[in-house]
Amino acid sequence: MTTSTFKPAVPAQPAAPPARAKRAGRRPGTVAFLMLVPAGVLILTFLLVPIVLTFGLAFTNARLISPQPARFIGFDNFVRLFDSDTFYASLRNTLVFAIVIVPVQSAIALGLAMLINVKMRGVNFFRTIYFLPVVTSIVVVSILWLFLYQPNGLINALLANVGIQGPDWLGNPNTALFAIIVLSIWQAVGFHMVIWLSGLQTIPGELYEAASIDGANPWQQFAYVTWPGLRQTAIFILITITISAFALFSQVNIMTQGGPLDATTTLVFQAVRTGFQQQQTGYAAAISLVFFVLVLVVSLIQRYLTREKDAR
Amino acid sequence: MKPRLTSRLAAMMLVAAVPLSLTACAKGGSSSTSGNEESGGGGTLTLWTHSAGNKNELASIKTIVDDFNASQTKYKVEVQAFPQESYNQSVAAAAAAKKLPCILDIDGPNVPNWAWAGYLAPLEGMDDVLSKYLPSTVGKYKDKYYSYGYFDVALNMTSRKSVLKKYGIRVPTVDEPWTGDEFMAGLKKIKDSGDFVNPLDLATGSTGEWWPYAYSPLLQSFGGDLINRNDYKSAEGVLNGDKALAWAAWFRGLATDKLMPLKSGADPGKDFLNGKTAILYNGSWGAADGRKKFGDDIVFLPPPDFGNGPKIGGASWQWGMSTNCGDNTAGAMEYMKFASTDKYVAMFATSAVAIPSTDAAAATVKGYETGGENDIFRQLSKEFAVVRPVTPGYPFIATEFTKTAQDILNGADPQKALDQAVKNIDDNQEANGFFE
């Protein structure tokens, strides 16, 4: 699972006092705005413009390779899409993947972050180790785990040592998605661990001291001091994990190519397959459009559920 | 207030940037650069090949290019090598950006698609030269030659004489191949003995073009096919008829009866050399390693005849000229003619350890002369090779067949899976106006 392609702004900080801003005049505003321009232009050309083009392409029969220009065909692509079993399989797999990954990966990342949030010698060693999979290319990780998951691979060999006959992880429709979930969590958990860590470190230590003086046990400290203090971080992590979970593609492309029996096909994978390999750009644009709407709806729901209930 | 001013200014700038970026996009897209990457009229032709990582083939290409460059001073060819996995997509991307190289190699079955799309220019004035090539090694579309290849390879059932003798299995010949029943009986004998982990290995772990290349001939041997080759309009009846269902049942049965692994290992060739596999479905490219390990014991056999005669795949990588050569088209044609002589066919086929495309070249390549040790591959190719369907819709058919065959192997209902594949293929052919 790759990290999201853009770097969102840090969680909102309280605004600077207005008096000081007025004195500094326009300069901070201009500087801020100049810093915004490069990223803004890039986002515009590589994100917004392609999205708008996709909206248009989805209603045509554009092909990747064709001597004839694309024709407008209205909703045909969508009719075909909603009629296709593979689409529903992709949708199901994408949703299952997201529903499992979001809580599990966040929880594991939080656990790891709390483990490394200590001041002791050697903690940086562990921080590095846990973060290493993130900086490894997902392609390399997928190939490695492909070998691990083979019927006579390392994982089954280890299981055999304790007497369990391991299944063909990637060849069995029941275990293939689970196998990909495990490796995705392994690869990406370091990234969210670091974000949780930064959130943990903003919680003042005095609160913990006060809590322990009051006689709170570790669990109560977590529930009443840590967790509320992590609220902003949690919202950020929730949204970014969800978005990158929906974009599952590389692992499927390398390890299972959507199989076996559509057990691991995802929306992005289907879009790439139909758009590139099958050369049907219009149809792939339709899939992308559906994907975009899905992610937008989910993000809006999440944003609504996690909005600040106390008015500003 | 400051934040509002900033955000307003930012918004205005972004809006202003829209027409700027759109014009930039439009300009980049519409300017078409010809195949000369360097200075405009310099006569430099770029040549793309998929052989990056393939030492022998790349060396052969470089030799031909060096010879061509040395033989005249007007044009200069430059080689750019790509990895095979992403090669087709790189070409598609280059075509979309109108930056195709002048000379490029193409996987045989893709030639009709690229010719129809306008990527390839027909090879003028080479008809008599190319008529001497093996039919599966040239790319012909709408009666024009678009490409030629230096070699072909032959799929075969690789095994050992001693193994076949041990289980009383007859050694088949090109004239008398195994029947389907004979083949299955032999496999069962091997399985019952328990001596081999895999009585048969069809290399189902490979991905990509291997699936249509290797498994559609088996379908064709049963009497089915990927599409109706009379008019290339529909796959109805050939891909989902009785014969195709028989193939599907046989294919799945091999895995459920444990006659072959459902998903073969990472290197089926090595599994065979290490004695894990009794009969391996492989190409002639594995011959050298096999001979090194087993010497004379190794034997290359035709695949079984399931009713329609044994069939193997045909057509390998071929060379063509793009429509993006601009002023250098004449130079590109010169190169194509220069590179098509028997001398280079022989050299290339030798380095690739494959079947030379012309009889004249075969006579000079060690092993491929009549009676030579590699002659069997030449015979297999001549007698049994079936090219993949010659239609611009082939890339779509290939991906559909791959997915369907994988699903069938994993236990999907064959009739349903094949019907869906037929529907998709027919829709695609029709959506493209049958590629008229």
* B116 has a chain A CB within 8 A of its CB: yes
The residue assigned the tokens 């199989």 is A259
Residues A33, B10: C-beta atoms closer than 8 Å:
yes
How far apart CA B314 and CA B151 sit, in angstroms, is 10
pLDDT the model gives residue B13: 64
Q: What is the pLDDT of residues B320-331, one digit of tens each?
A: 999 988 888 889
Helices (H), chain A: 18-24, 27-43, 49-57, 76-82, 85-116, 123-135, 138-148, 154-161, 176-200, 205-213, 218-221, 227-229, 231-246, 250-255, 267-272, 281-305
For A9-40, the pLDDT digits (tens) are 554 444 444 444 455 556 778 999 999 999 99
Q: How close, in Å, is residue A311 to chain B by CA atoms? A: 20
Distances B358 to A300, B197, B306, B315 between C-alpha atoms, Å = 65, 40, 30, 14
Beta bridge partners of B144: B141
Interface test mutation site (partner B, options A277, A280, A281, A312, max chain B beta carbons within 10 A): A277
**A29 vs B2: CB contact, 8 Å cut-off?**
yes
Tell me which of B89 and B270 has the higher pLDDT: B270
The pLDDT of residue A2 is above 50 = no
Q: What is the pLDDT of residue B191?
A: 92
Cα distances (Å, whole numbers) of residue A233 to A110, A193, A204:
11, 11, 15
Whether residue B18 and residue A65 make contact (CB cut-off 8 A), yes or no, is no
Query: Which pLDDT tens digit goes with each residue over A161-200?
Result: 998 888 888 888 899 999 999 999 999 999 999 999 999 9
The β-bridge relationship of strands B312-313 and B385-386 is: parallel
Q: Within an 8 Å CB–CB cutoff, is residue B90 touching chain A?
A: no
pLDDT surpasses 80 at B363: yes
CB atoms within 10 A of CB A154: 13
Type and span of the H or E element at B21: helix B2-30
Nearest beta carbon to residue A67 from set B116, B399, B403: B116
* Numbered ranges of CATH 3.40.190.10 in chain B: 42-153+315-386, 155-312+393-435
- Pairwise CB contact (< 8 Å): A261 & B412: yes
Tell me the fold of A18-305.
MetI-like fold (1.10.3720)
ipTM value of the model?
A: 0.71
Q: Which of chain B's residues have a Cβ under 8 Å away from the Cβ of A23?
A: none
3-state secondary structure of B198: strand
The CATH architecture one would assign to domain B42-153+315-386 is 3-Layer(aba) Sandwich (3.40)
Chain A residues within 8 A of B263 when measuring between CB atoms: 151, 168, 170-171
Give percent of chain A with pLDDT exceeding 90. 45
Listed in sequence order, the residues at least 6 apart from B239 whose beta carbon sits closer than 8 Å to its beta carbon are: B219, B224, B225, B226, B227, B401, B418, B421, B422, B425
- Per-residue DSSP letter, B40: G
Question: Does residue A167 belong to the interface with chain B, where contact is any CB pair within 8 Å?
Answer: no
Q: How confident is the model at residue A85 (pLDDT cuts 50, 70, 90)?
A: confident
B387-415 confidence digits (pLDDT tens): 999 999 898 999 999 999 999 998 899 99
Specify the long-range contacts of residues B360-367, CB closer than 8 Å, at least 24 apart. B360/B132
Alpha-carbon gap, residue B143 to B128, rounded angstroms: 14
B22, B263, B396 ranked by CB distance to A168: nearest:
B263
Of residues A157 and B14, more confidence is placed in: A157
* Cross-chain residue pair A273–B399, CB shorter than 8 Å: yes
CATH C-level class of B155-312+393-435? alpha beta
Q: CB count, 10 Å around CB of B205?
A: 17
pTM of the complete model: 0.79
Does position B1 have pLDDT exceeding 80, yes or no? no
Extended beta strands in B2-126, E state: 44-49, 76-81, 103-107, 120-121
* Peptide bond just before A260 cis, omega within 30 deg: yes
Confidence at residue B36, expressed as pLDDT on a 0 to 100 scale? 39
For A147, nearest residue in chain B (alpha carbons)? B266
- CB contact under 8 Å between A261 and B411, yes or no, is yes
Looking at per-residue pLDDT, the higher value among A112 and B54 belongs to: A112
Subunit contact A65:B428, Cβ cutoff 8 A:
no
Indicate yes or no: CB of A278 within 8 angstroms of CB of B113.
no
C-alpha pair distances (Å), A102 with each of A127, A229, A250, B188: 22, 20, 18, 49
* Residues 17-76, chain B, touching A (beta carbon < 8 A): 17-18, 21-22, 24-25
Q: Touching check for A50 and chain B: CB below 8 Å?
A: no
Choose the mutation target among B4, B20, B21 for the interface with A, i.e. most A CBs under 10 Å. B21
Q: Domain extents for chain A?
A: 18-305
Residue given tokens 């891909």 in the structure block: B239
Q: Does B431 touch chain A (CB under 8 A)?
A: yes
The minimum CA-CA distance between A267 and chain B, rounded to whole Å, is 16
